[in-house]
Amino acid sequence: MTYKSILITGGAGFVGSHLTENLLAEGCQVTIVDDLSTGNWSNIEHLDKHPNLRVLIAPVEDRALLEQEVPRHDLVYHLASAVGVKLIIEQPVKTVETIFRGTDIVLNACSRYRRPVLITSTSEVYGKSTNLPFREEDDVVMGPTEKRRWAYACAKALDEFLALAHFAESRLPVFIVRLFNTVGPRQTGQYGMVLPTFVSQALSNRPVTVYGDGKQQRCFCSVFDIVEGLKKLPQNPEAMGHVVNLGSQEEISIEGLAQRVIELTGSESKIEYIPYEKAYAKGFDDMQRRVPDTSRAKQFIDWNPKYSLDDIIRQVTDYYQTRQQDAS
């Protein structure tokens, strides 16, 4: 890693905690800014006494704190965000405000002190496009503003515009990553994430709850592969000012995922189908398929995911089983 001192907003979250752990293992100094809204102290508890880690429990919207911390570091990862379909539908104001205001404050501090910054955006930005696989320069097809789900996608798209505007106006070194479904140990099912929900349902032999008809397809990528991409990208100046997809191209239907989880966990669970109207408050809209084109990631950082879906399901299962043992 060419950067030695790194600030991570959202570092106590799922992706952020793995990134933190990996960078500490490389000998970097890491500071986390996280308000623990969707993240959890338990994600970083094992790193608490690490001599190269500082943890600041604070909102990313704390402008004075960001102005103080950004110049002390030579790279900023901005991961703090409202996340998860359930949270986004239930707390639409917080979603838009956290995403847009937080990113604005981070970018302004990075601009003032000229610090490179990587922002995590999302495959949701492609909206309802059916032009697969999704390429970064493709048109996006957004749903109506009356359907709350699209607030997340629009706010993240606005973050991308703002970051690219800083790059265009002052050559601020910005890197933008669109993450596709990222999964692995420490992800919580609390905010609507599918894999941790399925694994914990299967491990306790409860019904595995599939929303809709389960024919919608997704590609799941290991957080360990994503962290490698997040580390490599800001080390290549050619990636500066670009949007880059990171995700797996291995597609599976949600119904197929449920079956695979039941099989690999040796569960006696049955699948239960729940209509979207029952699963979510009014304002939900879904898309059938989402597959990334990863040519840019290959071109810039020679990136390819290494873990298969079965590997990931086993890792998540081990994680939940260990936690159950810890708790008992």
Kindly tell me which of 191 and 300 has the beta carbon lying closer to ligand NAD: 191
What residues make contact with ligand NAD under the rule CB under 6 A? Answer: 9-10, 12-16, 33-39, 59-61, 79-81, 83, 98, 102, 120, 122, 179, 181-182
Closest Cα to residue 119, out of 7, 222, 27? 7
Shortest distance (Å) from residue 97 CB to ligand NAD = 8
The per-residue DSSP string of 316-327 comes to HHHHHHHHHHHH
Minimum CB separation of residue 195 from ligand NAD in Å reads 9
- How many residues appear in the chain? 328
Between 206 and 315, name the residue whose CB sits nearer to ligand NAD.
315
Measured distance between the N- and C-terminal CA atoms of the chain, rounded to whole angstroms: 39
Q: Tell me the residue ranges of DSSP E strands in the chain.
A: 5-9, 29-34, 53-57, 75-78, 117-122, 174-179, 182-183, 208-211, 217-219, 221-222, 243-246, 251-253, 271-274
Closest approach, Cβ 88 to ligand NAD, in A, equals 10
Which of 3, 126, 152, 280 is an active site residue? 152
Contact 150, 142 (CB under 8 A): yes
Q: Which is nearer to ligand NAD, 38 or 267 (CB)?
A: 38
Distance, CA of 227 to CA of 223 (rounded, Å): 6
Question: How many Cβ atoms from other residues are within 10 Å of residue 185's Cβ?
Answer: 21
Query: Which C-beta is closer to ligand NAD: that of 262 or that of 312?
Result: 312
Q: What letter does residue 292 receive in the DSSP assignment?
A: B
Rounded least distance, CB 328 to ligand NAD, Å: 25
Taking the least distance from each CB to ligand NAD, the nearer of 37 and 267 is 37
Catalytic-residue membership of 152: yes
Q: How far is the CB of 102 from ligand NAD (least distance, A)?
A: 5
Active site residues: 152
